[in-house]
C-alpha cells in the first residue's frame, strides 16, 4: 500500500520548507524512521524521515524547491505497485508549482481585527513585497482599511536593510565600532569566548557590478528574521535603559577561573547570562510576556542568547539558567552556539526563552539597543568590556567597564521596574560573589 511523503511541519512555526537534499534516491529501499531528505525550516536544517517501509518510488520535489507544509513531495511503495493514483497530474503539479515560494503566507501581523485572515494590499505593494521577499502580513498597512501600500513596503524594507547593515559589521576589526543609532535590531553575538570575526564564517556577499546591483533571494532564515523584527519593532513600545557596569571584579574572577583549567573557563557572556537569570528571579516583573489581553509572568527563567549564524541570527535557549552553575551555562552555551551555526538546533532548543541577551562586545561595540523578541518583555544588549578612566573615591583610575542597555516593553515593564532590574544586574556583575548567594 503506497504512502505519501509530505512536507512535514518540523518546527512549531514552520509553514514552508526548502528541500535541501535528497538522501534517498528513487528506487532505494527505505524503512520507517530512516532519513529521506534534509529540509531547511524557518529555523534550522531538519531531517525528513520515512514513515513507512518500502521503496522510494518517486521524488516529487527537486532539490532546492520550497513548498508549503503538507505538500506531497514523494511516494513510498512496493517496487511494482501502481502509484498513479497518488502521482496524478494534480499531485505533481502542486509540487512543481511550489518552486517560487510565496513570501506572504503568514497570517497578518497587526491590523484591524475585522480583516483577520485577509491582507489588504495594493497590487504594487504585493508585487514589491514578493520581489523583495517581505512577508505582507508582517507589514503595517497605512492605507484605507489597513491596506498595505508602496510606502509601507518600503518602510518595512528599510527596517530590514538596517538589520542587514548590522550584519555587515563583523568585518570591521579596527577601532571601536559605535552603533549609536537607536532601534538597532538584535545584533550578532557569539556565546563562545573566542573573539568574533574569525570565528564566524562571513556570509558570502555577492559582488555587485559598478553602477548596478545584484539581488540575492532571501533564505528561510532571513525571511523569518525580517518577519520577526518587523513584528517586534513595529507594535511594541520600546524604551531603553542604559547603565555602565564596573567589571573589574568580574574580569579578575574570570581570569582567576581560567587559570584553574579549561573546565573552569567562562566567558563574560556566561557571567551576564547568570547574572540576568538571578536578577530575573529578584524582579519577576521583568520575567514576563505580553499576550494581547494579559501579561504572563513566567515561573521559570530561560535565557535566550543571540547567536550569529551564516546568514543571520538565531537565539538558542539556556533553560533554567537561574538554577545552573556557571560551568554548566558555559558548556551549554558553547554547545548551543555550535549547533546553531551548524543549523542543527531542535525546536526545543530555540524556543521558550523568557528573556534574551544579545552581546556585540566581541565586535568592539560600546553599546547598542536591541529589539525585543516578542512576546518577551525585555532584552539586554551587552557592549564590550573596555578599560576606561573612571572616578573612584575621588581619583581617576582605569577600570574595565561594560555598558548594557535594557530594552523594555512599556506595556509590561515601566521605567522604575526596568531600572531596578538593571541595578540588581549591575550589583551582581560588580560583585560576582553575590551570585553565589
Partner 1 sequence: MPLVTYRDALNQALREEMRRDPAVFLMGEEVGVYQGAYKVSRGLLEEFGPERVVDTPITELGFAGIGVGAAMAGLRPVVEFMTWNFALLAIDQIVNSAAKMLYMSGGQVPIPIVFRGPAGAALQLAAQHSQSFDSYFANIPGLKVVTPATPADAKGLLKSAIRDNNPVVFIEGEMLYNTKGEVPDGEHVVPIGVADVKREGTDVTLVAHSKMVGLALKAAEELAKDGVSAEVVDPRTIRPLDVATIAASVRKTNRCVVIEEGWPVAGIGAQVVDDIQREAFDWLDAPVLRVTAADVPMPYNKHLEKLAKPDVPRIVAAVNRVLYRA
Tell me how far, at minimum, the Cβ of 43 lies from partner 1, in Å.
32
Residue 123 contacts partner 1 per CB under 8 A: yes
Distance CA 304, CA 345 (A): 13
- # residues contacting partner 1 (CB under 8 A): 12
The three grid cell numbers given for residue 139, joined into one nine-digit string: 507589514
CA–CA separation, 356 and 298 (whole Å): 14
CB of 124 to partner 1, least distance (A): 4
- Smallest separation, CB 428 to partner 1 (Å): 50
User: CA–CA separation, 327 vs 87, rounded Å?
Assistant: 54
Near partner 1 by CB under 8 A: residue from 52, 122, 242, 346? 122
150 binds partner 1 per the rule CB under 8 A:
yes
Residue 309 makes contact with partner 1 by CB under 8 A: no
Q: Which is nearer to partner 1, 150 or 298 (CB)?
A: 150
In whole angstroms, how large is the CA radius of gyration of the chain? 24
Residue 427 three-state SS: helix
Per CB under 8 A, which region of 138-146, 171-179, 331-339, 379-387 contacts partner 1? Answer: 138-146
- Residue 131 or 348: the one with the smaller Cβ distance to partner 1 is 131
Stretch that binds partner 1, among 43-51, 86-94, 120-128, 168-176 (CB under 8 A): 120-128
- Minimum CB separation of residue 151 from partner 1 in Å reads 8
Q: Of the listed pieces 118-126, 263-271, 318-326, 357-365, which binds partner 1 according to CB under 8 A?
A: 118-126
Question: 143 or 374: whose CB is closer to partner 1?
Answer: 143
As a whole number of angstroms, the distance between CA 349 and CA 231 comes to 22
User: Which residue shows C-alpha cell 556566561?
Assistant: 270
The only residue of 51, 132, 143, 420 in contact with partner 1, by rule CB under 8 A: 143
What 3-state DSSP class applies to 423? Answer: helix
The distance from CA 378 to its chain's CA centroid, rounded to whole angstroms, is 15
Residue environment code for 340-354, b if the CB has 16+ CB neighbours within 10 A, otherwise e: bbebebebebbbebb
Smallest distance, partner 1 to C-beta of residue 159, A: 20
Q: Give the helix/strand (H/E) hosting 130.
A: helix 123-132
Residue 117 interacts with partner 1 (CB under 8 A): yes or no: no
**Is 127 near partner 1 (CB under 8 A)?**
yes
Site for partner 1 in 250-289 (CB under 8 A): none
Q: Using the rule CB under 8 A, give the single segment among 67-75, 123-131, 177-185, 394-402 that binds partner 1.
A: 123-131
Strand residue runs (E) in 33-173:
35-40, 45-49, 54-59, 66-68, 72-77
Distance, in Å, from the CA atom of 125 to the CA atom of 146, rounded to the nearest integer, reads 13
Minimum distance from CB of 246 to partner 1 (Å)? 52
The three three-digit cell numbers of residue 36, written as one number: 529521506
DSSP notation for 215-228:
--PPPHHHHHHHHH
Q: Quick one: 139 or 253, whose CB is closer to partner 1?
A: 139
Closer by beta carbon to partner 1, 122 or else 162: 122
* Cα gap 81→78, rounded to integer Å: 5
Provide the annotated active-site residues.
Answer: 410
Shortest CB 160 distance to partner 1, Å: 20
Cβ neighbours of 183 (radius 10 Å): 14
User: CA quadruple 42, 360, 204, 138: dihedral positive or negative?
Assistant: positive
Element (H, E) at 333: helix 326-341
Least gap, CB of 128 to partner 1 (angstroms):
9
Instruction: Give the helix/strand (H/E) hosting 277.
Output: helix 268-282
Retrieve residue 28's grid coordinates. 532505494
Q: Which of 9, 13, 69, 126 binds partner 1 (CB under 8 A)?
A: 126
Q: Confirm or reject binding of residue 129 to partner 1 (CB under 8 A).
A: no
Q: Which of 31, 112, 142, 145 contacts partner 1 by CB under 8 A?
A: 142
Of 29 and 158, nearer to partner 1 (C-beta) is 158
Residues that bind partner 1 (CB under 8 A): 122-127, 142-144, 149-151
Amino acid at each position: 500500500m503506497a504512502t505519501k511523503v509530505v512536507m512535514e511541519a518540523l518546527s512549531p512555526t514552520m509553514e514552508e520548507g526548502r528541500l535541501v537534499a535528497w538522501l534517498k534516491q528513487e528506487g532505494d529501499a527505505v524503512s520507517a524512521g530512516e532519513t529521506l531528505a534534509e529540509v531547511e525550516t524557518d529555523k534550522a536544517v531538519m531531517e525528513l524521515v520515512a514513515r513507512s517501509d518500502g521503496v522510494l518510488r518517486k521524488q516529487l520535489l527537486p532539490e532546492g524547491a520550497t513548498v508549503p507544509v503538507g505538500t506531497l513531495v514523494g511516494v513510498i511503495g512496493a517496487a511494482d505497485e501502481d502509484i498513479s493514483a497518488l502521482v496524478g497530474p494534480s499531485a505533481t503539479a502542486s509540487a512543481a508549482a511550489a518552486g517560487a515560494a510565496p513570501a506572504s503566507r503568514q497570517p497578518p501581523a497587526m491590523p484591524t481585527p475585522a480583516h483577520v485572515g485577509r491582507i489588504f494590499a495594493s497590487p504594487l505593494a504585493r508585487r514589491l513585497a514578493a520581489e523583495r521577499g517581505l512577508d505582507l502580513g508582517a507589514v503595517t498597512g497605512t492605507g484605507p482599511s489597513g491596506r498595505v501600500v508602496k510606502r509601507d513596503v518600503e518602510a518595512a524594507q528599510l527596517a530590514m536593510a538596517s538589520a542587514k547593515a548590522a550584519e555587515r559589521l563583523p568585518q570591521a576589526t579596527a577601532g571601536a565600532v559605535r552603533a549609536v543609532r537607536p532601534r538597532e535590531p538584535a545584533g550578532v553575538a557569539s556565546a563562545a569566548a573566542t573573539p568574533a570575526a574569525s570565528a564566524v564564517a562571513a556570509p558570502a556577499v555577492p559582488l555587485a557590478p559598478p553602477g548596478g546591483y545584484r539581488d540575492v533571494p532571501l533564505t528561510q532564515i532571513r525571511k523569518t528574521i525580517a518577519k520577526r523584527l518587523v513584528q517586534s519593532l513595529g507594535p511594541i513600545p520600546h524604551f531603553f535603559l542604559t547603565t555602565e557596569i564596573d567589571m573589574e571584579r568580574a574580569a579578575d574572577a574570570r581570569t582567576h577561573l581560567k587559570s584553574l583549567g579549561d573546565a573552569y573557563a567562562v566567558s563574560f557572556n556566561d557571567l551576564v547570562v547568570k547574572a540576568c537569570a538571578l536578577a530575573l528571579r529578584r524582579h519577576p516583573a521583568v520575567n514576563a510576556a505580553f499576550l494581547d489581553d494579559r501579561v504572563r509572568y513566567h515561573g521559570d527563567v530561560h535565557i535566550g542568547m543571540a547567536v550569529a549564524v551564516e546568514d543571520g541570527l538565531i537565539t538558542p535557549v539556556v533553560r533554567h539558567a537561574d538554577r545552573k552553575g556557571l560551568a554548566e551555562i558555559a558548556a551549554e552555551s558553547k554547545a548551543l552556539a555550535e549547533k546553531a551555526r551548524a543549523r542543527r538546533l531542535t525546536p526545543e532548543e530555540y524556543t521558550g526563552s523568557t528573556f534574551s541577551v544579545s552581546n556585540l562586545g566581541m565586535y568592539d561595540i560600546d553599546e547598542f539597543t536591541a529589539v525585543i523578541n516578542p512576546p518577551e518583555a525585555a532584552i539586554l544588549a551587552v557592549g564590550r568590556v573596555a578599560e576606561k578612566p573612571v572616578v573612584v573615591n575621588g581619583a581617576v583610575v582605569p577600570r574595565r567597564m561594560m555598558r548594557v542597555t535594557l530594552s523594555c516593553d512599556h506595556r509590561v515593564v515601566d521605567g522604575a521596574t526596568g531600572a531596578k532590574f538593571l541595578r540588581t544586574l549591575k550589583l551582581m556583575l560588580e560583585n560576582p560573589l553575590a551570585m553565589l548567594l
